[in-house]
Amino acid sequence: MADLSTCRPLTRDSVKEAHELIRPYIHQTPVLTNTTLNTIASTPLSSPGAAKPVIRLYFKCENLQLIGAFKVRGAFHAVERLKQDPTWSREKGVVTHSSGNHAQALALAARSNNIKAYVVMPSISAPPKVSATEGYGATVIHSGSTSVEREAVTQDVINSTGARLVPPYDHPDIILGQGTMGLELQDQFSQLRSQLSSSSSSPNPSPKNLNAILTPCGGGGMLSGVALSCEGTPTKVFGAEPSFEGADDCTRSYYSPDGVRIESVKSLTIADGLRTPVGEHPWQIIYERRLVSGMYSVTEDQIKSALKLVYERMKLVVEPSAVVGLAVVLYNEQFRKMVEQEGGADGWDIGIVFSGGNIDLSKLGELFSPATDEQTVITA
């Protein structure tokens, strides 16, 4: 990565600069709505005294982004910034570790700039993700599945090749690149609401800002970037995590009495993109600067239920990690009560980030089989 001393400050203005830098390389993905999911989200759960929030959802479809995930934003921004670094040798290339989406993203960004890329991927990575990464021209090296194992093999590659590390989330350049998606979502929502207001007979114009955005949180690059993109606006940002086998490290850290970041996670949650611990730089934005208003977690069954709804009701191909935010809106009673209290009769307009759509289709039958053991469903 570019030297930390040369990085742009972590502000909303820097996210705007990053957007201008990478705009030629990325798609502005669509924002979709779904009346059925709005109705389900606004229907109380069956438990006594359940919340009755009024919720309108706006889905930012990064599953339709290049390589099928938001990760290209950070990867292209990191490479563009590296190209401005006089101490970096293009001939030695770049290296990263990833379960799949960042792997493909860096491979594509490197190929687009005729740069050699090395990618360390867990041996349990889904074959389609490995094939896609290799298809973009990267050299794939396999490792164990935990973040510790990945990082050890990555260091071996750095020592042997001199390649520059482009981490999947824990660097300002990655964070700023991922935050560009938040800028787009805010602008697209404003345009949608303006169109609805102009065609409505209501004397009160609709609000031009989202009340909240929910993003999945693994290493925290996307969550912290989106939080920066909303800094100084009325839009609140929340993070969503799976709770299986302690994958909700950021949630537990956020609400711990001492606020100490958990630095190690070992989970085989079906939300494979969220198996990593939150990084140091994202944590500073999420917790220390309090730009994230809260963290929430959901179970494996709740993730599966949300995933099934998206397939059936929206006809979109998304991966389990992508629907964790939707699962929070639909099933986390603590979040739903907060929306009911703060939104009142008017309710909330909530942006949901569909972070990616890279799933091993051969595993879908197993994923929705009642007899499947959660621990054996691997989509990484």
Residues taking part in catalysis: 71, 99
In the Cβ-directed half-sphere of 269, how many Cα atoms lie within 13 Å? 34
Three-state secondary structure string covering 83-124: CCCCCCCHHHCEEEECCCHHHHHHHHHHHHCCCCEEEEEECC
CA distance 13 to 88: 26
SS3 355: coil
- Quote the tokens at residue 12: 């909303």
Range list of β-strands (E), 169-325:
212-216, 236-242, 294-298
Which whole-number Å values give the CA distances from 126 to 275, 360, 364, in the listed order? 15, 6, 12
What DSSP string runs through 9-59? PSSHHHHHHHHHHHGGGS----EE--HHHHHHHTSPPSSTT-----EEEEE
